[in-house]
A and B are shown apart, each in its own frame.
Chain A
Amino acid sequence: MVEKLGIYVLGSEDTVIGFGLIGISGKVVRTASDAQRLLIEIAQKKMYKIIIINSKLSGEIEEFVENYRLNPENPVLVEIPDETGTTAIYESVKDLLKRSIGV
């Protein structure tokens, strides 16, 4: 279902694992050049509408990101802060569900 929605994650291991736990796929990226290469590849594949990216990583390729965003054919880049681990978010959501729904 999420594949159809077309969301992909690029970022730290923690971010990719966190989104993976809820079913959104992605790839761990460690260097700015890898991030640029993957962003170009993903845009060419035209499979994803949205790419979630750690803000630290996108900050390292700021100029590239600005130009990438100017092309309406490219997926929309959504930056998420990386100071909070996404697996921690997953645990919080689980806890939230337990408290509010009881499961």
Chain B
Amino acid sequence: MEYNESSFSEKIDSLMKEVLEDSKVKAEELIRQAEEKSKKNIEDAKNVLEMEVKKVFETMNKKIKRERDLKTFETEIQIRNEIILAKEEILTAIMNLIQQKLIEFTKSSKYKVYLQKAFQEMLNYLSPGQYILYFHKQDFKKFPQNKLLELNEDSTLQFEISRSEHIEHHGILLKSKDERFSIEDTLEVRFNQKKEQIRSKIAKMLFKD
């Protein structure tokens, strides 16, 4: 076999070229794969991060919504309570006004008739004896005293009007002289007895509840 140095060198060059080409292709392939892997890793990391952020946002939104709902509920309850209290105040004001009207009534001419009627009703509960009538200091002159004189003459019931002691309310307080028996018929007593009934009727009419 003939040995030719130049052809050998050419052969070597060609082989080296081939090896280099192969290496280049392989290196490029490896780089491409590495790039793809890294790209995928970044994409995966991004997705995980996005999901985490989404989760945090969802939890935060839920919390905010819950807080907002709670606040709205509390405000609603507070407004409802304020309305209930306001309704109570309106009713109290109306009841006070009614009481004022009752006091105004005691200054009217109809009040004299009312006193007379109240006294007449009291007579049904009395047994023979001596009695003292007490009035509010503005009232005792409004009571028809001649009526008492007539009664004192004709019956076993004897009455006198207390001029030194008065009652606080408008109406009549009747006591037996021995103080064993007494009847109080005043506007305040009557009003207080019916107060709750009147209040609840007004509430029903006014607020329908």
Contact = CB atoms under 8 A, between A and B. Distances in A.
A80 B208 CA distance: 8
Contact of B86 (A76, A84, A103): A76
B83 A5 contact: no
Q: Is the interface of B mostly helix, strand, loop or mixed?
A: helix
Interface stretch (A26-34, A35-43, A89-97): A89-97
B206 A89 contact: yes
Nearest to A101: B190
A5 B87 CA distance: 12
Interface residues of B, number: 36
Given A78-B90, A97-B98, A84 B83 contact: no
A102 B197 CA distance: 15
Given A80-B207, A102-B190, A69 B89 contact: no
Contacts, number: 82
Nearest to A9: B90
Given A101-B194, A102-B190, A23 B97 contact: yes
Interface in A67-103: 69-70, 76-78, 80-81, 84, 86, 89, 92-93, 96-97, 100-103
A77 B110 CA distance: 39
A97 B193 CA distance: 12
A80 B204 CA distance: 11
Interface residues of A, number: 28
B89 A93 contact: no
Interface of A: 1-2, 5, 7, 22-24, 49-50, 52, 69-70, 76-78, 80-81, 84, 86, 89, 92-93, 96-97, 100-103
